[in-house]
């Protein structure tokens, strides 16, 4: 993990709330015509589309959180790949939040084409869309910017 993520995650305003720390994954699989697809999740309670992610539990590392949240929200058991980047923004309640993302591959013997069941009620759909179309589906600019910054060719090897 980069020093930037640690710095953002530890940042606290003198009068504001502590920064919420979260982690997630960028799941890529081969799509049609040589392109790649990315997994997006839908939360009906907020009616939004985002990358799979969630808050760190007490004492949990960013890496462990990313793996746990991706499994819970997509049904995909994964292994960490390269660090994909981070986002920093103010959440809907006005609190600062930083999210660290990793590229992920399916765990040995598994496939993104046959995930398990989604393990949380807050997610009602996992949708695989082409990387080029993801920006039109994602609800938040910070997610769009992360996807746009990715160099997907060298990291999306398995799926």
pLDDT tens string 76-122? 999 999 999 999 999 888 999 999 999 999 999 998 988 888 878 89
Examine residue 107 and state whether it is found in any structural domain, yes or no.
yes
The pLDDT value given to residue 14: 46
Q: What is the domain range of residue 121?
A: 3-10+18-58+69-155
Examine residue 95 and state whether it is found in any structural domain, yes or no.
yes
Examine residue 32 and state whether it is found in any structural domain, yes or no.
yes
Examine residue 116 and state whether it is found in any structural domain, yes or no.
yes
Q: With CA atoms as reference, report the closest residue to 156 among 49, 42, 25, 61.
A: 25
Give 110: exposed, middle or buried? Use CB within 10 Å, 0-12, 13-18, 19+: middle
Examine residue 24 and state whether it is found in any structural domain, yes or no.
yes
Q: With CA atoms as reference, report the closest residue to 126 among 113, 109, 142.
A: 113
The pLDDT value given to residue 31: 86
Q: For residue 119, what is the domain's CATH number?
A: 3.90.79.10
Examine residue 75 and state whether it is found in any structural domain, yes or no.
yes
Examine residue 63 and state whether it is found in any structural domain, yes or no.
no
Strands (DSSP E) contained in 91-139 are 96-106, 125-130
Indicate yes or no: pTM above 0.75.
yes
Is 36 within 8 Å of 152 (Cβ atoms)?
yes
Q: With CA atoms as reference, report the closest residue to 51 among 76, 33, 30, 32.
A: 76
**Total count of domains within the chain:** 1
Examine residue 64 and state whether it is found in any structural domain, yes or no.
no
Distance CA 119, CA 8 (A): 29
Is 148 within 8 Å of 135 (Cβ atoms)?
yes
How many angstroms from the chain centroid is the CA of residue 8?
17
- Identify the segments of the chain with pLDDT beneath 70: 1-17, 152-159
């Amino acid at each position: 993990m980069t020093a930037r993520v640690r710095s953002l995650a530890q940042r606290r305003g003198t009068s504001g709330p502590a920064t919420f720390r979260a982690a997630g994954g960028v799941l890529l699989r081969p799509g049609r015509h040589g392109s790649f697809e990315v997994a997006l999740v839908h939360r009906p309670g907020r009616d939004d589309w985002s990358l799979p992610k969630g808050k760190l539990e007490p004492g949990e590392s960013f890496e462990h959180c990313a793996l746990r949240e991706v499994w819970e929200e997509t049904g995909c058991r994964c292994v960490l790949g390269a660090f994909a980047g981070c986002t920093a923004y103010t959440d809907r309640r006005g609190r600062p939040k930083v999210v660290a993302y990793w590229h992920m591959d399916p765990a040995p013997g598994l496939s993104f084409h046959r995930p398990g069941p989604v393990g949380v009620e807050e997610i009602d759909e996992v949708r695989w869309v082409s990387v080029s179309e993801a920006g039109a589906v994602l609800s938040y600019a910070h997610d769009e910017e992360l996807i746009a910054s990715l160099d997907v060719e060298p990291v999306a090897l398995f799926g």
